[in-house]
Amino acid sequence: MTDDIDDHAAWTAFAARDRGADGHFVVAVATTRIYCRPSCPARRPRRENVAFYADAAAARAAGYRPCRRCLPDGVARDRAAVATAAAILDCGEVPVLADLAARVGYAPHHFQRLFVRATGVSPAAYARARRADRVAGALAANGSVTAALYDAGYAAPSRFYEDAAPRLGMTPSQRRRGAPGETIRWTIATTSLGPLLIAATARGLCRVAFDEDADMLARLFPLAAIEAGDAALAAVAARVVAQVESPWRDHDLPIDVRGTAFQEAVWQALRAIPPGETRSYAELAAAAGHPGATRAAGTACGANPVAVVVPCHRIRRTDGTLGGYAHGPERKHALLEKEKRRRSDG
């Protein structure tokens, strides 16, 4: 064993078959003289028969051989393959999955799972995100929107509008100029949990938060036109309030927010949690396709710009306690109680 490994944390990850721990250490079993990945599906040995080593080389030096079931020596190869594929996509190439997998020596479906596990998104989603980022950079440098789209690798402007424009959250011209033409309308709605700021662009909600006002919007969106709400926003605001007061219903509210690929995967996973249920941060990270990224999932929850609509209040700590909430633990408890009461009523 090495002094750098936390035995308790390593055993917890091994007992939970945590894929996120693969590559961080290997598990050696004295009774079989083999070493495994932490996620090995085999039956768990007794704790006193287990030792942890920093890597496969250390385990082999101690006289252990690799498990034939979980193939622990393949972890480094898996990570190298994902890194190589990501580099290919970073350079602007967008090969089909079968071609990308073949270039790194894996079967397509197996490699898709590896890539999602490592990055939180599929290779196709990763490629779209990187291309959208290239558009953003090109828009800042180019005087021509069309030139920026071609520089980013789009075959035609129409492909951009189908793919990257929704991720940018604004038109290319607006982004190039710093979004001075974006209009955000806002209102303050009354709810049983206190005043709720609701703000939206023409595409959807961009800010939902308790105890905020138009001054906060101006700080968040300094180049946008901040205007009082109209009838269209009033209709959307009523649906947001209904989400607070009757969260068990499917309100399917449109949102206009953008985060990193990982943040968006976490937010999508949050919206998939049924009302009345909760998940731990570890479970959320796994649902987002990135098991082991527990702390990063918590950070993504904290960055959620549309409270209630993206229900980060449905996340609890691993020990079962509610934990923190950007809008106050009392509101978190109240939201969950509303959902639980309806769930128990059938």
Q: Spot the catalytic one: 36, 40, 67, 206.
A: 36
Catalytic status, residue 312: yes
* Of 40, 206, 301, 312, catalytic: 312
Q: Judge whether 36 counts as a catalytic residue.
A: yes
- Nearest residue to 206 via CA among 147, 143, 157, 254: 254
* Alpha carbon distance 194, 110 (integer Å): 48
Main-chain phi, psi angles of 193, to 5 degrees = -105, 10
In whole angstroms, what is the distance from residue 331 CA to residue 326 CA? 10
Determine the Cα–Cα distance for residues 155 and 160; give it in Å rounded to an integer: 9
Whole-angstrom distance, CA of residue 309 vs CA of residue 106: 39
Instruction: Describe the crossing of helices 108-119 and 123-141 by its angle, rounded to 10 degrees.
Output: 60
The angle that helices 294-302 and 261-271 make with each other, rounded to 10 degrees, is 80
Rounded Cα–Cα distance for residues 327 and 331 (Å): 7
Q: Angle at CA 190, nearest 5°, toward 186 and 192?
A: 140
Evaluate whether 249 touches 242 at the Cβ level (below 8 Å).
yes
CA distance 10 to 78: 21
* Residues annotated as catalytic (active site), given as ranges: 36, 312
